[in-house]
Amino acid sequence: MVWLGHNLRNRPLLAQHAELRGAPVLVSLADAFARPTYMERFFSGCVRAALGMTGPLMIDCGAFSWLSQALSARRSIDALLKVYANSTADFLVSLDCPPRPDDTRSTRALLRRRTLSHLKRLAEFVPAQQLLPVVHGHSVREILEYCECVERICGNVPQIAIGGLVPLMCSGSAFAAFSYIRTDGARGDRSHWVGDSISLVRGCFPDSLIHVFGVGSATTAIAVLALGANSVDSMSWRRAANYGAILLPGRSERFPTARADRKPSRPVVSPTDVSLIAACLCPVCKSAAKAEKRLRLLAECYTNRAIHNAWTVLSEVAKLRAALSAGEAETFVQSRLLKTHRLYKPVMERLRLAAT
């Protein structure tokens, strides 16, 4: 499952299409900090109704915003409880304090204590079915200890999330040289860490849904799901649309048409990509018969691109699920992930192991 990161400013974006109204969406309280009127408008009643959506809803507390507002921990939690107390959202993300891979041991311990104390308070008021605890770590031991603490506070949680992976996922990250000792004693790198952290959390909570935060691109979302996560979230549909780009199955981001006044930061749709546009069943592409017209629609409007991209992310994840059920995941992933993708090797290793 993929949760589409939804910006409150573009509220009607998905809701205006019946085919997308039931999509799982993730909204952040950080948006309400940027515009305080949003707090009353969206978070005082039923957020789902305010968005015009009908499907699963997750509310992220926007941890970085809370912390950067320099609110005291007490005030932060009180404000969060006010929103969470009567929320009908499916998942309410606990207020976490993610460590960076280069934080000192004492800083990491301090951040963990804070995260767990927030979780403890939230667990007293938020039903277990809704509360989404978040674990962090950059070693096997850290993840296992975090899971033990969560279990002590919340018991056998129905769902749990892994956070703090963003700095490791980013290409060109300052943490490209990150390494750790795997459970078999071998040294692992950041490519292994994503799959290993999912496996470690799975070992502690075998029946819980595992969400992985901040995976980035639609392709990486497929890789992380193939590595065993039950759900991920992605902003790529909006981010790419914002840059004027579209998502296509098995391709990197593309510009729909050539434009002389634009930096050539992405390739333009090529003749071999046109069949993918022609086959697209999104509400925007379906409104035009010819691929040329579809590309024009996508080129001229952010909303059209965002709708097409959201549809593409959702349908790609649905295709992965179908491939996993049919025992064809290896072939599917090979058609979507380049061999140079950071997660290609760990994903193929996992799928081959699962097939034996």
Residues that bind Zn ion (CB under 5 A): 280, 282, 285, 308
69 versus 287: smaller Cβ distance to Zn ion: 287
Smaller CB separation from Zn ion, 192 or 308 = 308
- Please tell me the distance from the alpha carbon of residue 55 to that of residue 292, in angstroms, as a whole number: 33
Cβ of residue 13: shortest distance to Zn ion, in angstroms? 15
In whole angstroms, give the CA distance from residue 193 to residue 224: 11
| Minimum CB–partner distance for residue 239 and Zn ion (Å) | 17
Tell me the closest approach of the beta carbon of residue 244 to Zn ion, in angstroms: 15
What is the smallest separation between the CB atom of 303 and Zn ion, expressed in angstroms? 12
The minimum distance between CB 253 and Zn ion, in angstroms, equals 14
What values do phi and psi take at 330, rounded to 5? -60, -45
Least separation in angstroms between residue 40's CB and Zn ion is 36
Structure tokens at 74: 């007490």
Q: Which is nearer to Zn ion, 112 or 308 (CB)?
A: 308
Tell me the β-bridge partners of 211: 161, 231
Q: How far is the CB of 259 from Zn ion (least distance, A)?
A: 19
Q: Provide the strand spans (E) within 127-173.
A: 131-132, 134-135, 159-162
Tell me how far apart the alpha carbons of residues 339 and 16 are, in angstroms, rounded to a whole number: 38
Tokens of 281: 């069943």
CA–CA distance, 261 with 3 (Å, rounded to integer):
34
| CA dist list (Å): 321 to 221, 281, 332 | 12, 18, 10
DSSP state of 8: G
**3-class secondary-structure state, position 134:** strand
Min separation Cβ 297 and Zn ion, Å = 9
| Residue bearing tokens 């969060």 | 80
- The helix/strand count (H/E) of the chain reads as 18, 11
Q: Which of 125, 231, 291, 351 is nearest to 299 (CA)?
A: 291
Distance of CA 286 to the CA centre of its chain: 27
Q: How many CB atoms lie within 10 A of CB 42?
A: 23
Q: Give the distance from CA 38 to its chain's centroid.
A: 23
CB of 241 to Zn ion, least distance (A): 12
Phi-psi region of 7 (alpha: psi -120 to 50; beta: other; left: phi over 0): beta
Least Cα distance to 350 among 336, 326, 333, 335 occurs for: 333
